[in-house]
Amino acid sequence: MNLFKKDQEDVKVIRPPVLGWIEKKLSDKEMDYLWRCIDKRKESKKSILAGQIHESNALVDKSDWFYTNTLSPLCKLYREEFQNIGEDIPVNQKHPYFLHKFWVNYQKQTEFNPIHNHTGVYSFVVWMKIPTKHDEQNKNPISLKANTKAISTFQFSHLDIIGGSRPYTYEMNPEVEGTILFFPSQLPHQVYPFYDCKEDRISISGNICLNTTKLL
């Protein structure tokens, strides 16, 4: 028999906020636009990456098309589903968001990105090309000897309700091409290496910050 009821005046149930992320499948129009951005990629950004990645190049969101049509609606959806992370920043009530950095990564076999986070308020990753299949990767001798099935995956590291670190893993298969993950910039994540494939894995990432040069 339960002696307490949560509607009693002297009993409170506390549920601390646990922030997640948004997963969305991009349209053909959005993907075509991103491939055009890649075709016009700019200078190398390899030096700013946390890990060992073959090449990384800056991209330009011409006329803010991707921000306006994809990222800004995701900012709004995140605020509705979770909370406005920017509220912790005093100037957020006066200044708008903008796409601060935008780049493409080319990852070759054996390369990786160790656990890291980003600058800004929100960040995102889009998988453009995945040349491997998770099940096949896990038949690799390196994977068979490992104590984890994380080979070739993308993994978030988030806190559970009691503060423990928990992984959330995305298995890399061609089916995830065209998927965007939209998440708080401070959420740690990592990219594990893949093997036995000469093709590049291609992804796009970016950071959304507050534009303190403009007023709402």
Number of neighbouring beta carbons within 10 Å of residue 182:
21
Q: Does the structure show a pLDDT above 90 at 197?
A: yes
Which residue would you say has higher pLDDT here, 19 or 5?
Answer: 19
Q: Please tell me the predicted confidence (pLDDT) of residue 87.
A: 62
Q: In what order do the strands lie in the sheet with 165-170?
A: 113-116, 189-191, 154-159, 165-170
What are the structural domain ranges in the chain?
22-210
Q: Please tell me the predicted confidence (pLDDT) of residue 90.
A: 56
Q: Does the structure show a pLDDT above 90 at 32?
A: yes
Distance CA 169, CA 182 (A): 15
Query: Which of 54-58, 162-166, 186-190 is least confident?
Result: 162-166
pTM of the model: 0.85
**103-146: pLDDT as tens digits:** 999 999 999 888 999 999 999 999 999 999 999 998 887 777 77
Using 50, 70 and 90 to split pLDDT, how confident is the model at 96?
confident
Q: Please tell me the predicted confidence (pLDDT) of residue 11.
A: 72
Which residue would you say has higher pLDDT here, 63 or 88?
Answer: 63
Q: Does the structure show a pLDDT above 70 at 50?
A: no
User: Average of pLDDT values for 178-202?
Assistant: 94
Number of neighbouring beta carbons within 10 Å of residue 101:
17
Q: Please tell me the predicted confidence (pLDDT) of residue 60.
A: 95
Query: Which of 38-52, 81-95, 108-122, 124-138 is least confident?
Result: 81-95
Q: Which CATH architecture has domain 22-210?
A: Sandwich (2.60)
